[in-house]
Amino acid sequence: MNTSDFTSNFWNIYTAAILIASFVGLVWLLVSQNKTKRTGDKVETMGHEWDGIEEFNNPLPRWWFYLFVITVVFGLAYLLLYPGFASFKGILGWTSHNQYDTEMVKAQEKFQPIYDKFAKQPIEVIANDPEAKVIGQNLYNTYCIQCHGSDAKGAKGFPNLTDKDWLWGGKPSEIEYTIRHGQIGVMQPYGGLDPFPDETVKDVASYVLSLNENEAFRSRSNPQSAAKGKVIYDQICFTCHQADGKGLQGLAPNLTDNVWLWGPTDKDIENTIKHGHTNQMPAWENFLVTKKADGSEDTAKLRILTAYIWGLSDHTGEAPEILPYQDENGNAVTDTPADDAASVTIGDDGVVKFYFATGSTDIAANANDSLAAIVAGAGEGKKVVISGFHDATGDAAQNAELAKNRAMAVQAALVALGVNEGSIELKKPESTEGDGSNAEARRVEVALQ
Ligand code: HEC
Ligand code: HEC
């Protein structure tokens, strides 16, 4: 098919012929079926009969007949007024284009004064304007929701726009720039390169964890592995993420906080290092900035949306509350403890489990927070039971001694938190079954009774 199919008159004549034929056909059908039954006439039948059942040849009901007539008249009137019959444009001269244009002009007349108002105001002022908020929310729902989510909290790979952590800057001018021109974040893949076997990826990830300001992440880092990782980090990664891991806005994200664009688990972090990411925020200039008749720019929509986004994070100047990273279902993500580091977790049953590095009695640094419920329970007069477990590797007596010392370290922490020594019961250390040479075996459990 080529374009002359559309420019030649063939299709016009073709559709016109079909139209005329169907009209004539319809009218003929109507007239031919419009035999009125008169009283006294014998009702005609169609001439066939099944077991005494005959089909009557009654005319159409009146109301039905007139509906048909109205339809035919409507069709003719429509084709007279609007385009539809061949190339005839209709006496009203309507086109979908000029309907759109008139609607746009009307909308423009209605909204232009509002837009003009916002075009002059500072973003901070627009952000607090209730009318602008509604327009901003609508713009967000139209252009942004599919990636940043209905609550603007983002998802893996799509940044949260409601926190105070900004890859590309959170000042109004910076947000405006990002929305207008877009951004591309590139973290190159390192896995598989000559100095980067999987082992090295793990080492560097371990070092990244050790830089974190939260004990929960630091405790997942393995000291020996991290030491090896640091060497690589200081050669390659520091150029973008900086020596302290705090990153540089517009260059690379902060790796020391609990905001993870690509997820917080060991696996997520190793994946980023191994496979890299290329992440694009599209440019919205063509949708949000229009040229005015006098050639100047109308940036009102861009400014209203910028104000809306800026207003989503709070601007009190206080440090943001860092919530634990959550999965899609809103559950806090806790990674399995690293194999050789002190850590602490709280089970669903309220049992607090302490894990220890090989041979060590040091308890995890964030123990106090995790013990809060136990301390409160003891305050209500409940009994605190501490059970020690040890793995089955090495000398049994030595293991039992270590388990006892670990249990006592936990007991000391509880006493330091104000728990009466008399309400604490130390159980005899137990050996765990199985090969037991893992972190899970080297644990102390604290429970209320
Ligand atoms: C196709 C998906 C997509 C859409 C649609 C989208 N964004 Fe983004 N946006 C991203 C990605 C991906 C990033 C992160 C880029 C990076 O990693 O550097 C981002 C980053 C941003 C940032 C910077 C965040 C920071 O931490 O600095 C802002 C602000 C933003 N988007 C606002 C918007 C607004 C407003 C809209 C609607 C006009 C929008 N985005 C529509 C994908 C999208
Ligand atoms: C050329 C600059 C650059 C270098 C070098 C670099 N990164 Fe990155 N890194 C980035 C950028 C940019 C991102 C964010 C990618 C995005 O926007 O999606 C990132 C993201 C990450 C993340 C994910 C952060 C999150 O919030 O989920 C980790 C982890 C990371 N880098 C670790 C490393 C390590 C380890 C090295 C060294 C082996 C390294 N990076 C080298 C630029 C760099």
The tens digit of pLDDT for each residue in 351-395 reads 898 888 777 888 887 788 888 889 888 888 899 999 888 777 677
Starting from the CA of residue 186, give the closest ligand: 2
Residue nearest to atom 9 of ligand 2 (CA): 187
Ligand 2 pocket, residue 209 CB under 6 Å:
no
CA-closest residue to ligand 1 atom 21: 281
Cβ 342 vs Cβ 364: under 8 Å: yes
Q: Are 448 and 384 contacting, i.e. CB atoms less than 8 angstroms apart?
A: yes
The answer to whether the CB of 340 falls within 8 A of the CB of 434 is: no
Closest-lying ligand 1 atom to the alpha carbon of residue 140:
37
Among candidate residues 113, 103, 126, the one with its CA nearest the CA of residue 298: 113
Provide the CA 445 distance to its chain's centre, in angstroms. Answer: 37
The average pLDDT across 257-277 equals 93
What is the token pair recorded at 107? Answer: 């909308």
224-244, pLDDT tens digit by residue?
A: 999 999 999 999 999 999 999
Work out the end-to-end distance of the chain between its first and last CA atoms, rounded to an integer number of angstroms: 84
* pLDDT of 36 over the 80 cut: no
List pLDDT tens digits, range 102-122: 888 888 788 788 888 888 888
What is the arithmetic mean of pLDDT over 317-344?
52
Residues 36 and 58: their CA atoms lie apart, in Å, by 8
- CB-neighbour burial class of residue 200 (10 A; exposed 0-12, middle 13-18, buried 19+): buried
CA atoms within 13 A on the CB side of 408: 7
Nearest CA to ligand 1 atom 29: 175
Whether ligand 2 lies within 6 angstroms of the CB of 405 is answered as no
Measured from CB, residues less than 6 Å from any atom of ligand 1 are 143-144, 146-148, 157-159, 161, 166-168, 175, 178-179, 183, 185, 279-282, 284, 305, 309
Task: Name the residue with the closest Cα to ligand 1, atom 13.
Answer: 281
253 lines ligand 2 (CB under 6 A): yes
